[in-house]
């Protein structure tokens, strides 16, 4: 069942097209990876999908609702879309536990006790319950990443967006993130993951959406994209990536 349908999505900055008509769909429980060269519009695409950046045109149908319409309460929509940022963006004045609780307290109106219980459960889901009282500055990159994931999961989102989840992590931690994403996928969490990390993409089960100059140029499992693909840009991207793998 389709959860997210994107049609003809464009985004312009000062008349320069960053997204030039993106079309794709994401089904419930599916994991999809967005790849492409730097500046191809990957992060802009994610941000347009929950209107952190306003798209210039196109349709985004999320859970049956066209969310680019002016009448849509975008704050309500965003509560159903979990977003894990490249630099984790934890609130530095709050402990790990309070970071996870904040949405439940402010947006769901839960009592402190209920929010604490839920937050501890989500932190244990990402194996961070022993670090719940630590502040972001006292957590490693991988630990911050997991708290950020717990913060997104606790709101029980319909889909989780990841923006370059491994770019700030060492290879060992990057592997842990891949394991975590796989575990979430096994739990039927729908995931849209932007990355330029071929190793991560290889370790995830979903199709890759190859974005170039703001357009989807290919959509297929990564194994197919890496095997002498018909599209010249896809070939060039993976040939350039291959030596480092």
Q: Angle 96-106/112-125 helices, nearest 10 degrees?
A: 130
Q: Which is nearer to other proteins, 13 or 227 (CB)?
A: 13
Distance, CA of 173 to CA of 204 (rounded, Å): 15
Q: Residue 190: what are its φ and ψ, rounded to 5°?
A: -80, 130
Q: Kindly tell me which of 52 and 220 has the beta carbon lying closer to other proteins.
A: 52
* Smaller CB separation from other proteins, 76 or 231: 76
| Two tokens, residue 157 | 């989102």
b/e code 43-78 from CB counts within 10 Å (16+ = b): bbbbbbbbbebebeebebbbbeeebbeeeeeeeebb
CB of 117 to other proteins, least distance (A): 19
Report, in Å, the least distance between residue 143 CB and other proteins.
Answer: 13
Q: Which residues bind other proteins (CB under 8 A)?
A: 50, 52, 75-79, 81, 83, 85, 87, 89-93, 102-103, 106-107, 134-138, 148, 151, 155
Q: Among 6, 4, 46, 45, which Cα is nearest to 26's?
A: 4
Reduce the secondary structure of 19-51 to three states and give it as a string.
EEEEEEEEECCCEEEEECCCCCCHHHHHHHHCC
For other proteins, the closer of residues 91 and 124 by Cβ is: 91
Q: Please, which residue, 83 or 238, has the CB nearer to other proteins?
A: 83
What minimum distance in Å lies between the beta carbon of 147 and other proteins?
12
Q: Which of 122/207 has CB closer to other proteins?
A: 122
Smallest gap, in angstroms, from Cβ of residue 242 to other proteins?
32
Q: How many CB atoms lie within 10 A of CB 155?
A: 19
CB of 168 to other proteins, least distance (A): 12
Report, in Å, the least distance between residue 79 CB and other proteins: 4
Cα separation, 245 vs 229, in Å, equals 18
Nearest-angstrom CA–CA distance, 185 and 74: 26
Map residue 196 onto helix, strand or coil: coil
């Amino acid at each position: 069942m389709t959860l997210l349908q994107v049609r003809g999505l464009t985004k312009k900055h000062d008349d320069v097209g960053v997204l030039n008509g993106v079309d794709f769909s994401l089904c419930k429980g599916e994991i999809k990876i967005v790849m492409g060269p730097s500046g191809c519009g990957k992060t802009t695409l994610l941000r347009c999908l929950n209107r952190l950046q306003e798209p210039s045109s196109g349709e985004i149908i999320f859970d049956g609702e066209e969310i680019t319409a002016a009448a849509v309460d975008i704050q309500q929509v965003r509560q159903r879309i979990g977003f894990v940022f490249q630099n984790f963006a934890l609130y530095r004045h709050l402990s790990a536990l309070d970071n996870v609780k904040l949405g439940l307290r402010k947006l769901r109106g839960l009592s402190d006790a209920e929010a604490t219980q839920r937050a501890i459960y989500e932190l244990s889901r990402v194996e961070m319950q022993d670090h719940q009282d630590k502040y972001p500055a006292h957590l490693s990159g991988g630990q911050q990443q997991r708290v950020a994931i717990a913060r997104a999961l606790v709101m029980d989102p319909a889909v989780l967006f990841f923006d370059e989840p491994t770019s700030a992590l060492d290879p060992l931690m990057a592997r842990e993130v891949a394991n975590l994403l796989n575990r979430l996928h096994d739990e039927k969490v729908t995931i849209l993951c932007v990355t330029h990390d071929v190793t991560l993409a290889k370790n995830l089960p979903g199709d890759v959406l190859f974005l170039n100059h703001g357009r989807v140029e290919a959509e297929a499992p990564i194994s197919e994209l890496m095997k002498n693909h018909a599209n010249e840009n896809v070939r060039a991207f993976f040939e350039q990536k291959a030596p480092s793998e």
